[in-house]
Amino acid sequence: MASTAGYEAMRSGKVLLFYVNRDGLPLSDRCSERMWTFCMEQYPTHTNEIKALRDQKVNYPKVTYIEPPYHLATNNRLSVAEKLRQIQTYIQRLEYNYTGMQFFEINTNRPISGLMDAARHMMTEALPIKCLEAFLIAVYLTTGMIGVDRFNISFKTRFNSITYRHVVLGIRYNQIYGALGLSRRSDLAYRPLNSKYDRLSTLINDYIQAYKNYGHTVLRIKIGSPILHDLKSFLTIDWKAAVILPNKTDKEDYERELDKVSRVWRHMNLYMAYRGNVPHTSVMQPPRTLVTTASLPSRPQPTSNRSNCHQLSVTKTPMSVNDTSTAAQNYAIRV
């Protein structure tokens, strides 16, 4: 349901991170005014420049429409690495949204078909975007790349007692990993597809180190299941196939669990043709995995007292295609 104010405030505790536009496009007067006001609140030293831009009535700089690379996925003349590089270039040309008003309302529990409709809308409007919007555009443009597995890598971090969230699209091709995405910081987004990332854990550790360089503490990382190559699928994205708590887990432990998850992916059928009714047996989902310091194989595994502090923390349960995983509705990062 749309907010009566036309926008919704997204907070971390009492700290206001940004607003989400609920009135659609073009921006309503109330959303537009809230955007400009909040932008000046964010950048108080640039208030005069922001007011000048807001009040400018004529002589606007010419805006060049960015043509989306719709048919890049099926271009047989380019390597997969080059296709991914061009998609990343397109996402970066859309530019990061610094206004404090997220232009597109996104419900991550929608089926893939609905999310891909939203991605098409974003590419048509060609407005600045945030990381979740970049993620959906990357999913759309990589659909149809045979042999390419796509999955979300979602981060929850803390900086100065404020919690931030971020997401990128993980890529696997020929047992080599990479990522597509958008962030205020370049090393928290794109990772080229090259032999440097020959394990999923290597890719994840690279992001963790980048966060440490900016003073962020990584609280949690969610790894999703590979996303079907079907723009019309009624299935939802599994945002949480594995959960890593780096501060509470030995590095070797979560690396081992990530290797197990990636091995399960080899048995998944990600290139199903669109069908109105998909039988449960046609989609293999990896188990949910929670990785913490209590996941050491040699530890006792109590079976009765679930509140025991030594309770087994690697939980694996089968997941049906109808599972509606709860994911954060909006992601933000400020580093």
Length of the chain: 335
Q: What tokens appear for 114 in the block?
A: 């609905």
Pair 253, 194 in one domain: yes
Q: Are residues 51 and 88 in the same domain?
A: no
Same domain, 206 and 329: yes
Pairwise CA distance, residues 196 & 277, whole Å: 40
pLDDT in tens, 136-153: 999 999 999 989 999 999
Task: Report yes or no on 76 lying in a domain.
Answer: no
* Lowest-pLDDT choice from 45-54, 73-82, 87-96, 326-335: 326-335
Structure tokens, 262: 């990636």
191 shares a domain with 124: yes
Q: 24 and 156, same structural domain?
A: no
Q: Say whether both 45 and 117 belong to one domain.
A: no
CB 130 within 8 A of CB 329: no
Task: Note whether 23 and 121 are same-domain residues.
Answer: no
Task: Clarify whether residues 26 and 120 are in a common domain.
Answer: no
Cis bond upstream, residue 300 (ω within 30) = no
User: Does residue 257 lie in a domain region?
Assistant: yes
Give the containing element (helix H, strand E) for 8: strand 7-12
Q: What is the pTM of this model?
A: 0.79
**Contact residues for 85 (Cβ-Cβ < 8 A; gap 6+):** 192
> What span, in angstroms and rounded, lies between the C-alpha atoms of 303 and 325?
26
Neighbours of 78 (CB within 10 A): 13
What's 23's DSSP letter? Answer: S
Q: Please count the CA atoms within 13 angstroms of the CA of 171 that sit on its side-chain side.
A: 30
Q: Where in the sequence numbering do the catalytic residues fall? A: 131, 166, 183
Residue 70 lies in a domain: no
What pLDDT shows up at residue 219?
95
* pLDDT, tens digit (0-9, with 9 covering 90-100), for 238-264: 999 899 999 888 888 888 888 888 888
Q: How far apart are CA 87 and CA 193, in angstroms?
A: 13
Is 262 a domain residue?
yes
Is the domain of 139 the same as that of 201?
Answer: yes
Q: Is residue 286 part of a domain?
A: yes
Q: Is residue 153 part of a domain?
A: yes
Asked whether residue 69 is assigned to any structural domain, the reply reads: no
Domain count, the chain: 2
Q: Is residue 51 domain-shared with residue 154, that is, in the same domain?
A: no
Residues 129 and 42 in one domain: no
Instruction: Tell me if 145 sits within 8 A of 80, measured CB to CB.
Output: yes
| 226 occurs within a structural domain | yes
Q: Which of 187, 179, 206 is nearest to 85 (CA)?
A: 179
Structural domain range at position 174 = 83-94+112-300+307-335
pLDDT digits (tens, 9 = 90+) for 275-317: 333 333 333 333 344 443 333 333 333 333 333 333 323 333 3
Collapse the DSSP code of 81 into the 3-class scheme (helix H, G, I; strand E, B; otherwise coil) and give the result.
Answer: helix
Same domain, 323 and 180: yes
